[in-house]
Amino acid sequence: MKRIRAKWLWWLLLAALLLAALAWWLLPPAVTVLTLRSKEVQFSVVSTGRVEAQLESTLSSTVTGRVVATPVAAGDSVRAGQPLLRLEPDELRALQLQTEAQLASAQATLRESERQWQRQQQLFAQGFISQAALDSSRLSRDAARQSVAQLQALRQQNLVRLGQSEIRAPSDGVLLRRDVEIGDVLTAGKAALLFASAGQPRVLLELDERDVGQLAVGLAAAVLADAFPQRPVAARVSRVSPRVDQDSGTVEVELQLTQPAGFLKSGMTVSAEIRTGAARQTLLLPVAAVRDGRVAVVVDQHLFWRQVRTGMAVAGELPVQAGVRAGEQVVLPAPAASLRDGQRVRVQP
């Protein structure tokens, strides 16, 4: 009797399992849906860049000499004309003293030649000397004049060279870098200082060439430095390079700051967001809902595949251009491609 009862229990359990499997097989697959809604979206282009002064210049000396003074340290603000570096002037001063002595001698010779010329003219008028003697006196006078002129020019040249033994700030600004120290010999033309003119800095970005079509001069932007995450700075696009770098496929974009930002230092890395249009209501589709350019839409408990056209992803969502409308329910995540078009489904909460 016990064996018969155990046998019936076994058959009942098997029948229950078969009924459950049949129910599972006959029930439509369960899917989770998302009802599409429009959101206000601000479209923008984001990139990293660097801060640069409006004008950076490399300063060098036009004369060769040993560095004897560096009165300004890197990072200091300076006024126009302020000395930044001095070279040893002794040799130039010696040349200047030599030229002054030669000029004084030449001027004395010229004065004597002028007197002789005046005297020779009188003697010639009285018939006491020949034309040749008069011409010789004139030539001596002219040679003395030329010698004085040459030495005056050399004196002026030496004065200029003496002034060039100091490198001065070309304008108000900041000394960014100094590449020489006291005791170094600086040769003419060798870069010695990096100088940045005063004024609002600019921001240079390297944007992917695919974003060029969205850019235009005058677009509003915001700049944020990692060192000052709570201090965004307003800016605008002031220049878009007409040339694409062939190696990197990028375009240089310049931003002009529109508010004071003295805390931004030249060379600092920043992130920038360029707003490419006004904020507008946009239908967004989660990236996970798209499979091979299609989404699954549930209508009256049936699944239908739709081709969709979208823009570039924005924070994991795709702006919808065509294919679905607000209020429709899409399956999230996208179901397996094996689900047929028109197949009945169960919508889970």
> By the 8 A CB rule, do 257 and 238 touch?
no
> By the 8 A CB rule, do 80 and 174 touch?
no
Q: What is the mean pLDDT of residues 39-50?
A: 82
Tell me if residue 184 falls in helix, strand or coil: coil
> By the 8 A CB rule, do 76 and 165 touch?
no
This prediction's pTM: 0.52
Per-residue pLDDT band at 237 (split at 50, 70, 90): very high
Residue 315 falls in which region: left (phi positive, over 0), alpha (psi -120 to 50) or beta: left
Model pLDDT, residue 22: 53
Per-residue pLDDT band at 191 (split at 50, 70, 90): confident
Least confident range from 16-20, 67-71, 76-80, 230-234: namely: 16-20
Tell me if residue 47 falls in helix, strand or coil: strand
Is the pLDDT assigned to residue 244 strictly greater than 80? yes
Per-residue pLDDT band at 9 (split at 50, 70, 90): low
Is the pLDDT assigned to residue 2 strictly greater than 80? no
Residue 79, C-beta contacts closer than 8 angstroms, at least 6 positions apart: 169, 172
Tell me if residue 57 falls in helix, strand or coil: strand
Instruction: Enumerate the H helices of 84-127 as residue ranges.
Output: 90-125
- Type of residue found at 323: G
Model pLDDT, residue 235: 92
Q: How far apart, in whole angstroms, are the C-alpha atoms of residue 68 and residue 53? A: 29
Model pLDDT, residue 319: 87
Model pLDDT, residue 24: 47
Task: For residue 85, give the nearest of 191, 158, 1 by alpha carbon.
Answer: 191
Q: What is the mean pLDDT of residues 133-152?
A: 86
Q: How far apart, in whole angstroms, are the C-alpha atoms of residue 99 and residue 105? A: 10
The helix (run of H) or strand (run of E) holding residue 45 is: strand 44-52
Strand order in the sheet with 83-87: 166-168, 83-87, 65-69, 185-186
Q: What is the pLDDT of residues 282-309, one digit of tens each?
A: 888 888 888 888 989 988 889 999 998 9
Residues in the chain: 349
Model pLDDT, residue 236: 92
Least confident range from 18-32, 85-99, 216-230, 307-321: namely: 18-32
- Residue indicated by tokens 């018939």: 127
Is the pLDDT assigned to residue 349 strictly greater than 80? no
Domains of the chain in sequence order: 28-41+281-348 (2.40.420.20), 46-53+199-279 (2.40.30.170), 61-87+165-197 (2.40.50.100), 90-163 (1.10.287.470)
Concatenating the DSSP letter of every residue in 266-281 gives TT-EEEEEEE-S--EE
Strand order in the sheet with 173-178: 56-60, 191-197, 173-178, 77-78
What are the two backbone dihedrals, phi and then psi, of residue 202, each rounded to the nearest 5 degrees? -120, 165
> By the 8 A CB rule, do 230 and 222 touch?
no
Question: How far is CA 248 from each of CA 105, 168, 237, 238, 272, rounded to the nearest angstrom?
Answer: 67, 39, 21, 22, 19
Model pLDDT, residue 146: 92
Per-residue pLDDT band at 19 (split at 50, 70, 90): low
> By the 8 A CB rule, do 193 and 82 touch?
no
Task: For residue 222, give the nearest of 47, 343, 53 by alpha carbon.
Answer: 47
Q: Is 186 exposed, middle or buried (0-12, 13-18, 19+ CB in 10 A)?
A: buried
Q: How far apart, in whole angstroms, are the C-alpha atoms of residue 276 and residue 46? A: 10
